[in-house]
Amino acid sequence: MNDAELEPTDEAVERVLRAGDTRAGVTRFGASDATSIMQSESDASVWPSTDGEQFDREERAALRRVSGLSTELEDVTEVEYRQLRLENVVLIGVYSQGSLDDAENSLRELSALAETAGARVLDGVLQRRPHPDPSTYLGRGKVAELAAIVAALGADTVVADTELAPSQRRALEDQVKVKVIDRTAVILDIFSQHAKSREGKAQVELAQLEYLLPRLRGWGESMSRQAGGQVGGAGAGMGSRGPGETKIELDRRRIHNQMAKLRKQIAGMKPAREAKRANRRRNAVPSVAIAGYTNAGKSSLLNRITGAGVLVENALFATLDATVRRNTTPDGRVYTIADTVGFVRNLPHQLVEAFRSTLEEVGESDLIVHVVDAAHPDPAGQIATVRDVIGEVGARDIPELVVFNKADLVTPEERLVLQGLEPGALFASARTGEGVEAILDAIAAKLPDPAVEIDLLVPYDRGDVVSTLHETGRVLSVDYVEDGTRIRALASPEQAAQLAVFAADVAQA
């Protein structure tokens, strides 16, 4: 990215247009001022006085608090650390009849997401409503209550458990008087903080811009119309702008330009990635992809399995770029095993596209190790979400090995329930090491066997051929005869063709 061409005119747009450590689609909304205004208002006018009737109605109609959400700070250092960058957030959600459990789980997940993004969760409230209000998401009356809660807690941000329409976000901000963001913005924010590779960063930025584009109008209201043609030192296209062009149009054009540039960059990186993958395929090295819900313990298990130093964090989306390791089966066959980005329900559609690169690893693997957090309140929902995404990347037909991780955290009774859910699943704990051997054996058993049987006589000076066969084929028998090593093995068709010169009958003839 070229920072130099961009004159900072609007904070939110600039931040996203800047590469790397951008915070997604998040605009500062003068939170502190707004909060103090609300505090004076909140005590009298907004909170209704309560009587018995009211409580009864509250039972049926009030915003429902989801308990156990507020962030617990463990020690003073953590408090200090968090205060450096924290936003204090209140979460909101809407649920329809019968979907309360689901809504609570979703709000818990949003809470974990917000914390991962660096926020402090003060409270979470749900409103029961057949549908979200098209103009304000929560119903009008509830928005006033929310404003009071926000003021009372001193929150500076509201996070909605949905993807808000730009107009809903604006209407909510107008009434609640603090910044309002949605689930998608939080996920984009996390992704932008964690993406490490050049391609990952470019893809996240592209997703951020795509998210930002239809939302520009919201910021436009607080922007002054620019004087005709007078844009302080802005970059490309300056001569072509007519008088009175609004700042939004300018921003929109810059965003479009930037997106085009990023798409080109990403397209340019694809051949390298494909070449790498093609290379693995040519060598007939089978590949295993570890997939699963975010925070299920995929990276921890990969560490256990391969002894690799993969970043493990108790945060969602610790892994955002595929990490590929090499491993061997107990009988000596080599395979690759790739860690992948975690799945999450309602993955912003911008990101499904943006993260094809990691998910492609899943789509082209020979075996998917589907890791599930055994201690999660809704494992079935997580499994379903992951399988949906697996389907989306065209990987539905790939063999799947389900592993319930964090087995150290569940009771024997819970195990039985989980086993009922997925009869073929294994139990494991990356923490204690339980079940890791069984996973390794299951991987070995499920890896595709190379298809062609070959019978070779390899001269003694070609030890490399013998060792390659041990790694990539499946050796059936080895005899040391006068002219060399007589070796019978299963190999891929490509490999069999390459090794035809050593075929035993040819050599002996």
Q: Which does 431 bind (CB under 5 to 8 A by kind): ligand GTP, Mg ion, none?
A: ligand GTP
Residue 266 or 316 having the CB closest to Mg ion: 316
Classify each residue of 22-44 as buried b or exposed e, where b means 16 or more C-beta atoms within 10 Å of its C-beta: bbbbbbebebeebbeebeeebee
DSSP state of 358: H
Q: How far is the CB of 136 from Mg ion (least distance, A)?
A: 37
**Quick check: 408 binds ligand GTP (CB under 6 A)?**
yes
Question: Between the CA of residue 326 and those of 303, 335, 399, 407, what are the distances in Å?
Answer: 12, 6, 19, 26
Among 42, 116, 299, 485, binds Mg ion (CB under 5 A): 299
Q: Which of ligand GTP, Mg ion, none has residue 127 at its interface (CB below 5 to 8 Å by kind)?
A: none
The DSSP string of 406-450 is -GGGS-HHHHHHHHHH-TT-EE--TTT-TTHHHHHHHHHHHSPPP
Judged by beta carbon distances under 5 to 8 A according to partner kind, the member of ligand GTP, Mg ion, none in contact with residue 317 is ligand GTP
Q: Which residues of 365-378 are buried (b: 16+ CB within 10 A; e: fewer)?
A: bbbbbbbbbbbbeb
Residue 358 interacts with, from Mg ion, ligand GTP, none (CB under 5-8 Å by kind)? none
Total number of residues that touch ligand GTP (CB under 6 A): 23
Nearest position to ligand GTP, beta carbon: 342
Cα–Cα distance, 2 to 259 (Å, whole number): 13
Looking at 33-41, 271-279, 316-324, 445-453, which segment touches Mg ion (CB under 5 A)?
316-324
Query: Helix, strand, or coil here: 326?
Result: strand
Instruction: Lay out the site mask for ligand GTP across 420-439 (x = CB under 6 A, - = otherwise).
Output: ---------xxx--------
Residue 235 CA to residue 5 CA, distance in Å, equals 5
Strands 367-373 and 400-405: parallel
Among Mg ion, ligand GTP, none, the one that 113 touches (CB under a kind-dependent 5 to 8 A) is: none
Per-residue x/- track, 317-356, Mg ion (CB under 5 A): -xx-------------------------------------
Local structure of 310: helix, strand or coil: coil
Position among 318, 369, 390, 443 found at the interface with ligand GTP (CB under 6 A)? 318
SS3 label, residue 78: helix
In the complex, minimum distance from the CB of residue 219 to ligand GTP, in angstroms, rounded to a whole number: 31
Residue type, 262: L
- Per CB under 5 A, 405 contacts Mg ion: no
Q: Would you count residue 294 as binding Mg ion (CB under 5 A)? A: no
Asked if 405 interacts with ligand GTP (CB under 6 A), we say: yes
Helix (H, G, I), strand (E, B) or coil at 158: strand
- For the segment 281-300, give every residue that binds ligand GTP (CB under 6 A): 292, 294-300
Q: What is the 3-state secondary structure (H, E, C) of 190-258?
A: HHHHHCCCHHHHHHHHHHHHHHHHHHHHHHHCCCCCCCCCCCCCCCCCHHHCCCCCCHHHHHHHHHHHH
By a kind-dependent CB cut-off of 5 to 8 A, residue 406 interacts, out of Mg ion, ligand GTP, none, with ligand GTP
- The residues, ordered by sequence, that sit 6+ positions from 402 with a Cβ below 8 Å of its Cβ are 370, 372, 383, 422, 424, 425, 426
Distance of CA 421 to the CA centre of its chain: 25
Which of 236, 409, 451, 501 is in the footprint of ligand GTP by CB under 6 A? 409
Kindly report the backbone phi and psi dihedral angles of residue 491, in degrees, each rounded to the nearest multiple of 5, phi listed first: -140, 165
Q: Report if residue 89 touches Mg ion, rule: CB under 5 A.
A: no
Least distance from ligand GTP to the Cβ atom of residue 469, Å: 34
Considering only residues 334 to 373 of the shown chain, the ones binding ligand GTP according to CB under 6 A are 342
Report the C-alpha gap between 88 and 157 in whole angstroms: 6
Q: How far is the CB of 390 from ligand GTP (least distance, A)?
A: 15
Question: Is the CB of 185 or the CB of 439 nearer to ligand GTP?
Answer: 439
Which positions touch ligand GTP (CB under 6 A)?
A: 292, 294-300, 312-314, 316-319, 342, 405-406, 408-409, 429-431
Which positions touch Mg ion (CB under 5 A)?
A: 298-299, 318-319
